[in-house]
Amino acid sequence: MRSFYLGGRLGEPSALSHEGRLPCLAGAIVDAAAITSPAHLYWGGADTSGPVSVMAHWQAALPNVVKATVYPGEGHTVQYRHWDQILVDMAGYDDHTVICRNGRTRLVSNDRADEMVDRGATLGLCAWAAAP
């Protein structure tokens, strides 16, 4: 109720009330099958708000998932930490992964990325990597 009285006890609540009703209007729920553009999913392996199991539902609902990435140990706001990878994917290089190796940020093919991470590289820009 506090939000309805932001302008004082005589404030006009209609603007806030309108926003609250929007999700209830016809057409507010999108048919995910109608989304035909390529979709990229990014998930945190330690996300407790939307566990990794939820990603499987999105993969089933969207007809054109071209990449689904789970970041181990990452939480619900994984998109902020891996904005670098999202931009690379959106630029059409979704067959490549951004990694940090030996203090240098590199863009490597997806099939090499896992091997490089196993050898100590980290996912994302070196600016995000922990200091040695």
Contacts of 15 (CB under 8 A, 6+ apart): none
Q: What is the mean pLDDT of the chain?
A: 88
pLDDT tens digits for range 66-79: 999 999 999 999 99
Decide: pTM greater than 0.95.
no
Mean pLDDT of the region 72-100: 94
Domain-embedded: residue 74: no
Distance of CA 53 to the CA centre of its chain: 15
Q: Range of 98's domain?
A: 94-132
Residue 30: predicted pLDDT: 83
Does the pLDDT value for residue 6 go beyond 80? no
Domain-embedded: residue 42: no
Residue 18: predicted pLDDT: 76
Domain-embedded: residue 131: yes
Residue 86: predicted pLDDT: 96
Domain-embedded: residue 122: yes
Query: Domains in the chain: how many in total?
Result: 1
Q: Does residue 18 sit in helix, strand or coil?
A: helix
Let me know: does 51 contact 70? Beta carbons within 8 Å.
no
Tokens of 106: 């590199």
pLDDT tens digits for range 24-50: 888 888 888 899 999 999 999 999 999
Residue 11: predicted pLDDT: 63
Residue 21: predicted pLDDT: 83
Domain-embedded: residue 59: no
